[in-house]
Amino acid sequence: MPEKLNTSSRRATVSRTTKETDITATIDLDGSGTGNISSGVVFLDHMLTNFSRHSGIDITLDCKGDTEVDDHHSVEDIALVLGSAFLKALDSKTGIQRYGWAMIPMDETLARCAVDLGGRSYCVFSAEFKRPAILGFSTEMVEHFFVSLSRTMQANIHLAIMEGKNTHHMIEAMFKAFAYAMKMAV
C-alpha cells in the first residue's frame, strides 16, 4: 500500500489534432469506472469501455479520425493521448503503488499484465492473433496501441497471452488484465 494517500484531484484532459485525427480525452483516476468512448473504431470502444469499468478509471474520449482509410491513425493517436492524460493525472505520483499486475482468465484464454509507473517507457508484448480484425480494429494494432501508450505514459507495460485461441477473448483479456494492473498501480 502507498505510504501516503493522494487526496488531490487526479484528473486530466488532453487534446491532439493532426491531419488524420482530432482527439480529446479526459480521465479521472479516482472515478467510478464510467467510460464514454467514441473512437470511431467499434471494437476499440468496447475494449476501452471494459478497461474503464474494470480499472475504476473514468474515461471520456472523442476521436474524429480517418477511419475510412483504416484504423491505424486513430488507434495510435488515441493511445498517445491517453498515455499523456495518464501521465498528467498522475502528476508527481505521490501516494501511488507504482507497480501493478494481474492475470485474467476469459474462457480458454489467460492474459498476464504487469506495469511500472516509474517513469521509463518500455513495452513487452507477446500474443499472436488468428483473425486480422474485429469490428474495424486491426489485431496488428493491439501491440501498437500498448507500445504507443507506454511511450507517452512513461511506463513499463508487459502483456502476454499465456493460453488462448479465440482472438476476441485474447484481446479483451489483455485489456482487462491491463485494467486491473493499473487499478493496483494508481
Grid coordinates representing 171? Answer: 484481446
Residues 138-146: what's their mean pLDDT? Answer: 98
DSSP 8-state secondary structure symbol assigned to residue 155: -
User: What's the pLDDT tens digit per position in 112-121?
Assistant: 999 999 999 9
Please report, for the chain, the start and end positions of each structural domain, with discontinuous segments joined by +: 11-185
Please check the confidence at residue 7 and state whether its pLDDT lies above 60.
no
What is the distance between the alpha carbons of residues 92 and 134, in angstroms, rounded to a whole number?
38
pLDDT of residue 8: 63
Please enumerate in sequence order all residues whose Cβ is within 8 A of that of 100, keeping only pairs 6 or more positions apart, or say none.
114, 115, 117, 180, 181, 182, 183, 184, 185, 186
Please check the confidence at residue 6 and state whether its pLDDT lies above 80.
no
Residues 150-163: what's their mean pLDDT? Answer: 98
**H or E stretch covering 48:** helix 42-55
What is the distance between the alpha carbons of residues 19 and 75, in angstroms, rounded to a whole number?
14
For domain 11-185, give its CATH number from 3.30.230.40, 1.10.150.120, 3.40.50.12160, 3.10.20.600: 3.30.230.40
Prediction pTM value: 0.94
User: What's the pLDDT tens digit per position in 23-34?
Assistant: 999 999 999 999
What is the distance between the alpha carbons of residues 37 and 52, in angstroms, rounded to a whole number?
10
